[in-house]
Homo-oligomer: A and B are copies of this chain.
């Protein structure tokens, strides 16, 4: 899964003059990730990023409006590269797969540091929240939607008629998966290992099945 290259937003891109260096974009984003790992969000300074990238501060500010925007772009690239959902054959396997994949991403030092910081900042900045949503959150959510679709095709989960209700259920599942992994990783600060993933998957799939067929729980019981 790879999306449009995030760099430079040039509203009225002119035709003449020296074009912006693509090298600079790359160098800046790479330097941002490196600095993030070394220093953390709080001590990350744009002057330092520019110096690492071998670029003047003005060049950096010509392309990004500030720290938040820059870091979101730098981190979003990682989410682009590392999220995908091959069909593992069952709802159970797919859930476990997505949990482990998401956890692996969150345990990288640059994402661990950056994600929470950017999200924290987004509680005060609607534009930033939208940016995070489209660059990061929605990419994760699409995996959950895809997995659910497959489970419905396989008959593991019923297909909901009401579109709005279906969307609400999808959101709920997404919040549960992403939330549990984030909380385990960043707040509880414990690793998401195979055992935890197995337990979580059993709980979630059990819940989904129980809710889907209330009173007569699951034809296909999870193989726990």
Contacts and interface: CB of A to CB of B under 8 A. Distances in A.
Interface in A207-221: 207-211, 214-218, 221
A137 interface: yes
A64 interface: no
A202 interface: yes
B200 A172 contact: yes
A199 B169 contact: yes
Q: How large is the interface on A (under 10, 10 to 19, 20 to 34, 35 or more residues)?
A: 35 or more
Interface of A: 40-42, 112-113, 116-117, 119-124, 129, 132-133, 137, 168-169, 171-176, 178-184, 186-190, 195-196, 199-200, 202-211, 214-218, 221-224
Given A210-B210, A211-B222, A214-B221, 16 more contacts: A40-B121, A119-B120, A123-B186, A129-B189, A172-B203, A175-B184, A175-B187, A179-B180, A179-B187, A182-B187, A202-B207, A204-B207, A206-B207, A209-B217, A214-B218, A217-B217
